[in-house]
Amino acid sequence: MLIEIDFNSEEALYIQLRNRIIMGIAANELQEGDVLPSVRQLAETIGINMHTVNKAYTVLKQEGFVKVDRRRGAVIAIDAARLENVEEMRRELQVILAKASCRNISRQEVHALIDEIYEGYGGN
Amino acid sequence: MLIEIDFNSEEALYIQLRNRIIMGIAANELQEGDVLPSVRQLAETIGINMHTVNKAYTVLKQEGFVKVDRRRGAVIAIDAARLENVEEMRRELQVILAKASCRNISRQEVHALIDEIYEGYGGN
DNA sequence: TTTTTGTTATAGTTTTTCTATAACAGTGAA
DNA sequence: TTCACTGTTATAGAAAAACTATAACAAAAA
């Protein structure tokens, strides 16, 4: 899986990394059990510090997307216990949809966009 | 319009403020031409610094939600020129939907949530 | 044994966020 | 005119977050 970082983005590097990996899981480019590159390795290929990658992995671990296996490193492992966190999503969507509404983007357009994006994430 | 700030949130105060006002516009609590409280006034009622409010207003101005009238202060004024910025929304949705997909939130659930939120923003 | 894992510690720089005073020009009302 | 109120700007500082840099450790694999 290719991980690209935008150094001009305002988003923190470790957040970009986290987002990329979550999107990779959703898009099935990363599957349960897959091993992520080691923190040093990924840091070198991207050209950033080891600790920045480590922070991204730590966040992913806390959020339940990854487990750390001493021998293999960071492994994709989705924690079933914290599935279905809808409230968190509602708060995030509220801001985005408010902006959309102000900018005259219709509900239909949003639905279409959702479908389009969800398609890339394997249908349902 | 009531503006609440969560001082325990990780989100920057001025971002929370901006989001609240955008949501207020979407929910029709704030309408074209309505005047926002002065930076000093709002700062005092919330209990934060004047410059933090000013930064929120400045961002809102740059994003085209507000114009500044010398005599009246910050006035809701949505810039038609920058309507329909769908690409920005796509990028934001991609991350949220990736997380949703990983957490087994179905496309149907997301659509339902969209409708629910959009309802608060005056239907379409 | 050697290498590779994540992890931890320490330390430093830079940027962002938030606060604190102060002053300025434009505007409206007394 | 004088007064009070707008946003705006300047300057300064404190605190937190983000990122980097070395270094070392134990566990595990080759």
**Cβ neighbour number for residue B71 with a 10 Å cutoff:** 4
Beta bridge partners of A69: A73
Check whether A39 has a pLDDT greater than 70. Answer: yes
pLDDT at B84: 64
* Among A85, A90, A98, beta carbon nearest to B113: A90
Tell me how far apart the alpha carbons of residues A3 and A33 are, in angstroms, rounded to a whole number.
18
Tell me how far apart the alpha carbons of residues B56 and B54 are, in angstroms, rounded to a whole number.
5
Domain A13-80 in this protein, CATH class:
mainly alpha
Tens digits of residue pLDDT in A94-121: 999 999 999 889 999 999 999 999 999 9
Q: pTM above 0.95?
A: no
Q: Residue-wise over A25-61: b if at least 16 C-beta within 10 A, else e? A: bbeeebeeeeebbbbeebbeebebeeebbbbbbbbbe
* Among B25, B102, B114, beta carbon nearest to A102: B25
Cβ of residue A35 closer than 8 Å to a chain B Cβ: no
Tens digits of residue pLDDT in B26-84: 999 999 999 999 999 999 999 999 999 999 999 999 999 999 887 788 999 998 766 66
A5: DSSP letter: -
Interface test with B, best of A8, A102, A109, A124 (most B CBs within 10 A): A102
Q: Which residue has the higher pLDDT, A51 or B70?
A: A51
> Which residues in chain A are closer than 8 Å to B78, comparing Cβ atoms?
102-103
- Per-residue confidence at A15, pLDDT binned at 50, 70, 90? very high
Tell me how far apart the alpha carbons of residues B17 and B48 are, in angstroms, rounded to a whole number.
11
**Mean pLDDT, chain B, integer:** 92
